[in-house]
Amino acid sequence: MGASKTDSFSVEQNEIANLFKALSHPARIAIVDYLLTVDTCICGDIVEVLPLAQPTVSQHLKELKNANIIKGTIEGTAICYCINPAIIDKIENHFGVIRQKLRNKCC
């Protein structure tokens, strides 16, 4: 398909696409699922529950953080991650708009 022409799409379309791209790997979905089960955690905790090496988990965490899906705070030598509820609201709102538009369509 060649070079991406992201400037041909709305800011919202680009934002949603970036969120979905960040969530498009099963390891990242597993990380999000895990973070939903704990109050806070550090990278080492996540490594223990995933069948991935620590550098790989760190890369997936970086992708999720770059997309603002997760937030991280430094506590001593550990980084504690949590889900960013504002981004989840944005995803939920996007699907809500889709659902509303589908109600008005005949298939």
Domain presence at residue 29:
yes
Long-range contacts of 76-79 (CB under 8 A, 24+ apart): 78/42, 78/43, 78/44, 79/42, 79/43
Domain presence at residue 1:
no
Q: Considering the entire predicted model, what is its pTM?
A: 0.84
Full domain range(s) for residue 94: 8-103
Q: Residues near 18 by Cβ (< 8 Å), separated by ≥ 6?
A: 67
Report the alpha-carbon angle 43-47-50, nearest 5: 135
Higher pLDDT, 79 or 17: 17
d(CA 5, CA 28): 26
CA distances from 102 to 9, 16, 20, 105 (A): 22, 19, 20, 5
Higher pLDDT, 64 or 78: 64
Domain presence at residue 83:
yes
Domain presence at residue 2:
no
Domain presence at residue 13:
yes
Mean pLDDT of all residues in 72-92: 89
Average pLDDT, the chain: 89
Domain presence at residue 3:
no
